[in-house]
Structure formats: C-alpha cells, structure tokens
Amino acid sequence: MSAAIQHLPFERPVLEIEQRIAELERSATGGTADSAAADEVRRLRRERAELIKKLYANLEPWETVLVARHPERPQSADYLELAFDEFVELHGDRCFGDDRAMLTGFAKLDEYKVLFVGQQKGRNLKERVACNYGCSHPEGYRKALRTMQLAAKFGMPVVALIDTPGAYPGVGAEERGQASVIATCIFELSRLRTPIIAVVIGEGGSGGALGIGVGDRVAIMQHAYYSVISPEGCAGILWKSGEYKEQAAKALKFTSRYLREFGVVDDIIEEPLGGAHRDPHLAANALKMYLVRRLRELTHQPLDQLLAARYEKFRRMGVFLEGKVTAGPAASAATMPADTLGTPAGVLNGNGQVQNGQLASEKPAKVSPGS
C-alpha cells in the first residue's frame, strides 16, 4: 500500500493541517527556533487527530461509500496476508474456469483451520482487469460453493470476506447462469453443515455480496456498507439521474449503524481512527480478534442447532409493517424526503413482535432447515 494517503473530499481540512505539519518539518534547521516549531507540530497533530475523530464520527451515508471505495482500503488479499497463516489457494469451478475476483483456499487463523473465501478487486490496473474490479462471474460463485462444500466435508469453518460492487452484469455471465448460481449459493449456504462467518469489509453490493453472505454470524466493518443496490443505481431508477446519489445513499440506510438496528448484521467491527486504509495492520488485528472470538463460540455448537438458528436468523429479516404516508396517497418516492424512504413502520424481533411497539399481524412460519 502507498505510504501517502489519498484524501477524500470531506477530508480537506485534514489535508490542510498535514500540509502545515510538513512545511514545519521541512523548515527545521536544528537551531533554537526548532523547539517552538516542534511544539507547534505536536499541537497540529493533536488537532489533526481530533478533527479526524470528529469527521468520522459524523459521516454522511455518501461519505461512508467514499470510504468503503477508498483505493487504499485493505482488500481480502491484504487481510489474508495480515491476519491468516499457511494459505493454500484453491482454483477453478470444475466447470468453466477460474475467476480471480473470488479468492478461495485453506488457511489457518490462530488455532483454527478454516476455508477462506474473499472477493478481490485488485490494486493496479492489471489486477483490476483480471479481477473484473471485484465483480465475480458465475464461475467465481461456483468455485466459492465448491470449496465451501469441501470445507463442510472436512469439518472446517468458513470465513467469507465480502467486498464487491455487485456480480458481473455482462451478457456472458448471464448466459452462464449468473442469477441461478447466486440463488443456488444462497440456498446451499443456508444448510451447509459447518460454521460460517461473513464480514463485509468494503462494499457489499446486491446479490453479488449475498452470494457468499449467508452465515451464522454476519458482521460489517465500521465504515463499510451493505445494500440491495448502489447509490448510483438507486438514483438512476428513482430520480432518473445519478446526480441524486447522495440522496439515494441516505434513503437506502445501508451504513453499519442502520444495518445492526434492522438485524441485517450481527456485529460492527471498529476501524482505526480515520478508516481501515490509514492503519491496515490495526484493522486486520481487529478483524482477526473478532473472527477468533466467533469461531470459539460457533465451533462448540451442535450442527443441527447451528443450522436451525441460521435459518431462523434469515427468516426473520425483511418483515415489515406498512405505515401511514403523511404526505397523502399521491406522494411518490421522488417527492418524499430522503430520510423517510426505506424506513419500516416496525421490524420483527426474535419473538415475532414489532420492536417499535406495534404487534405483528402474523408471526413468520417456522420451517425446518431441511424442508
């Protein structure tokens, strides 16, 4: 990774402070004036840290998207190198080819032997082209499913790192069954007889993310996002223009805080001050600690109990009650305030009741995982 951090638009005040620090350090001559300059540098560094803390504590949804897409943000291969050991890569789907956007193989995490699956975007242009910018083809999902089934055969837990704008949308991918293979992955992972932990480390876009996102524990990095569609795609559909992407990002409520409130993710993994791209080693350490803690918890559970809980976890998602539209029946998505879009009147909790005080009209039917 590059030593010089690329600054995002909302970080302009931070950049100004860093430029001032650099000027003071360059002007140091070793004379008596250096003591005052050193004091000023220390003061500016404290001010910089406080400013970064304030900025990242109050990120707008679109700013979170920018952080999740930061070119220097750690990717699956980076976490694999920093947090895992003894990686042996597995290639190919035994049907069509090997998709470099999907990285799979056996690895060791602390005392646990695991099957690693990670979506990879690539760093330079050559890698990005080879990885389709993180957009997997059908063979990538078939490879992931094949290797995860192999892990279940040998009783190894699965760790999946999600980082994709979405599945590859090309004609060839559709001809080879893109939608079908993602649906198959979701179905098979829901009943895979081994512990599964999925973590959104950057972008979690649409079915491309959900294809490897079914797990006993689903977590998200603090400044990542997980969404049914990209902000640009949402703006293009609702407002017929990508210039409303910031409004769409707010309406989608796909940041970590909202996702945990809605029960879409179980945990939020805190990132270093200023995002994972500022300190990849610290971010990898936080991820490793989380994974080890969850593996210790899940590997001791009976498999039948694990599968039943996994099924019920996803069965409870997305159950909403319709609320009254205050703007009248003629109100449309284009005229409603952005912060009212996508807000449920109530969300079912584990007891089949609505958390906002309203009773659910019907509790989701309980079906056994094998049915």
> d(Cα 345, Cα 355) in Å, to the nearest integer?
9
- If asked whether residues 52 and 164 sit together in one domain, one would say no
Q: What is the mean pLDDT of residues 350-364?
A: 42
pTM of the prediction?
0.81
Beta-carbon contacts of residue 44 (< 8 Å; ≥ 6 apart): 17, 20, 21, 24
Domain tally for the chain? 2
- If asked whether residues 282 and 236 sit together in one domain, one would say yes
pLDDT in tens, 61-117: 999 999 999 999 999 999 999 999 999 999 998 989 899 999 999 999 999 999 999
- If asked whether residues 294 and 166 sit together in one domain, one would say yes
> d(Cα 263, Cα 268) in Å, to the nearest integer?
12
| pLDDT recorded at residue 5 | 77
Q: Where are the alpha helices (DSSP H) in 119-255?
A: 125-130, 138-153, 171-175, 178-190, 206-210, 231-238, 245-252
What confidence tier does 342 reach under pLDDT thresholds 50, 70, 90? very low
pLDDT in tens, 34-60: 677 788 888 899 999 999 999 999 899
What confidence tier does 6 reach under pLDDT thresholds 50, 70, 90? confident
Judge whether 134 lies within some domain: yes
Residue 37, domain extent: 9-58
pLDDT at residue 231 above 60?
yes
pLDDT in tens, 287-310: 999 999 999 999 999 999 999 999
Cβ atoms of 248 and 235 closer than 8 Å = yes
Q: What is the mean pLDDT of residues 340-357?
A: 42
Domain boundary among 290, 315, 340: 315
CA distance from start to end of the chain: 47
**Among 71, 83, 60, 14, residue whose Cα is nearest residue 223:** 60
- If asked whether residues 53 and 106 sit together in one domain, one would say no
